[in-house]
Amino acid sequence: MMDMGQPPDTYSEDKKYGNPRTFDPNFKGPVANRNCTDILCCIIFMLFIIGYILLGLIAWVHGDPRKVVFPTDSEGHFCGQKGTPTENKSILFYFNLFSCTSPSVMVNLQCPTTQICVSKCPEKFLTYVGTQFPYRKDKGSWTYFSQFCKSSFAKPEKTLSQMIMDDDCPTVIFPSRPLLQRCFPDFSFVNGTLTVGNKTVFEDGKGSTRNATELRAAAKSINKILDAKAIGVKVFEDYATTWYWILIGLTIAMLLSWIFLILLRFTAGFLFWVFILGVIGIIGYGIWYCYWEYKNLQGHHTSYLTIYDIGIQSDMNIYLQLRQTWLTFTIILSVLEVVIILMLIFLRNRIRLSIALLKEGSKAIGYIPSTLIYPVLTFILLSICISYWAVTAVYLATSGVPVYKIIAPGGPCKHENKTCDPEGFNTTEMSKACPGAQCIFSFYGGKTLYHQYINTFQMFNLFVFLWLINFVIALGQCTLAGAFASYYWALKKPDDIPPYPLFSAFGRAIRYHTGSLAFGSLILALIQMIRIILEYMDRRFKESQNNISKFLQCCLKCCFWCLEKVVKFLNRNAYVMIAIHGKGFCRSARDAFNLLIRNILKVAIMDKVTEFVLILGKILVAGCIGILAFLLFTQRIPMILEGPTSLNYYWVPLLTVVIGSYLVAHGFFSVYAMCIDTLFICFCEDLERNDGSTEKPYFIAPTLHGILNKKQLVPQKQKE
């Protein structure tokens, strides 16, 4: 993308000899005089946002989320909607549940039977024929049965065959209970036998006898759904009882994360070397144990055998009886031990440098504590993007008018799945050609230009959502990088740190570099969109793929996964360069890449050391909170603190606290990781720009002076 009005170049390159860049000695930190970068991409980004807003408005005009909230009967009416004849009838009732093959079909409103809205589900067994005979003496049975018919009838005058042909009433009703606003059979077990309303067999109203097992086969997995509902109620009760304890736990996790980051300046080296010595000790123990097993098998009847002699065996214990196996393990572990020790010896200075930068990062956050609050803003912006995407997707999915299709439960029909009009369908030629066929509501759609491109709009909605999500993350990274760069390039810390560094960095990122951040996030959004399409195609055509296509699909998914990781790494460092120099995205990405390549060994060590410390910190915070929550929710410390005593599943609030604490720690440590990346890039630039002399002093802290293999540095007065 083009960079219009770039600030003066802060470095030049010796093209003749291909030497590394020689930086401007007057450079003193983030460039103050900036111009807008990547303006073309900024314009495109704004146009996409305007289009996204217009799409949301159009979807909100045409969509109707009531189609998701309320079940719909066979005529397309919402059950329970206020201001309609079905206002007091919020439950959907199925005439012939035996026509439904699975609960998923019923939930999707595509069961091939008539569906009506009712105020309550049936509570007893009754058949249409059974209400005709006692009608003259007892009208109560028919009065109860008639509420499950399509329209009210004074008395059951029609014959059974005519009633079935007109599809006015069900042939039988049986005890049911509402689930997901739909009437499902009230299954239960009596002495290990499946029953419906305490009956194992019942009449189907057509002269046949059915049993509860057949009904359950028609509505399979209902009991699982009912169990899930019961579990959901209990989980909700546990959350209602422990919500304030969960908030207290998350608050403690936030405080622990902050304390851990501040103490890293004193504990980073200790944690790392303890871990390394532990790894060396564990591998050493493994070497001793494998050699001990090798010596013990000497003289055993299988000691002369080799892995080649016994071949491939399914029982792995056979291989453990061979001396060759333990000798192989001993050699592998010994080589690994030697490699680790040699790496520690030869890379000790770089490891010390990485640990020193970790400590410096802790100091930087201590001087700019407002950076720890920034993840809250990122969370709010991400929540807005996710909510807008979800609402727009729902309104797009519910755009349209009711579409009715012909369903023939009695057998094959040439008109099946064709659209139809429920009014007067019984008098059409299609109804006569397919006896027993029904015109039933299927889905919401339409034939207008807007409805024809619903799927395209959904794809656009998803793509812009990915773009915005990546832009918000990029904005946060660039803002934090600008704040921490201001800290590094302050000669006298903290006196020379500019006021409100975080706010100033945020303003620079929004005012000058929206286009550059949009450019980087656009590249990442395109890759993620391709990955989603590949995943969709894999699931869509999974059964029809051969081995070659599956292999190619797997290779493509793997390649784009790796590409996404690489682009995220490059983008992250490009945003740091943008925050420092104010260049465009392409220029910043190139400069960051070249700088990191010239310091590739430092980059690898720094990345792994930082990753280890942060993972350890997350586990430490989540583990501490998890232990406290376990003791509290299981009533192990009633003498110290009495927790909730009536939990159904103590692991529900426990897992919530542990996962929530991990996410809170991740939010804090993401700031710390960005701080380390920024300081590292500034540090590499500092070494290339300056030489430690009086004219060109280093900006690094005095704690790093003794680690560098450079000429003696000029002391600087800095506050620790």
Q: Match 């990485």 to its residue by tokens.
A: 354
Structure tokens at 13: 């390159």
- The parts of the chain modelled with pLDDT lower than 70 are 1-29, 31-32, 67-69, 99-112, 133-138, 154, 192, 216-233, 299-319, 400-401, 408-412, 436, 441-447, 542-545, 636-645, 692, 701-720
CA distance 705 to 701: 7
Positive or negative, the Cα torsion across 96, 100, 106, 108?
Answer: negative
Amino acid residing at 499 = P
According to the model, what pLDDT value does residue 356 have?
A: 78
According to the model, what pLDDT value does residue 416 have?
A: 72
Q: What share of the chain is helix, strand, coil (3-state, %, to 5)?
A: 60, 10, 30
392 Cβ contact list (under 8 Å, min separation 6): 55, 56, 59, 461
Whole-Å CA distances, 365 to 83, 662, 674 = 58, 20, 11
Structure tokens at 284: 């050493």
Nearest partner of 183 among 123, 265, 238, judged by Cα: 123
Nearest partner of 586 among 524, 525, 519, 526, judged by Cα: 519
Q: Match 């991990």 to its residue by tokens.
A: 662
CB count in 10 Å sphere of residue 466: 21
Give the tens place of pLDDT for each residue, 612-656. Answer: 777 777 888 888 888 888 888 777 666 666 666 677 777 788 888
Q: Can you give 424-456 as a three-state secondary structure string?
A: CHHHCHHHHHCCCCEEEEEEEECCCHHHHCHHH
- DSSP secondary structure string for all residues of 462-514: HHHHHHHHHHHHHHHHHHHHHHHHHHHT-SSTTTTSPSSHHHHHHHHHHHH-H
According to the model, what pLDDT value does residue 709 have?
A: 43
Q: Which residues of 242-251 are buried (b: 16+ CB within 10 A; e: fewer)?
A: beebbebbbe
Q: Is residue 532 helix, strand or coil?
A: helix
According to the model, what pLDDT value does residue 73 have?
A: 79
Q: Is 525 left (phi over 0), alpha (psi -120 to 50) or beta?
A: alpha
Amino acid residing at 584 = G
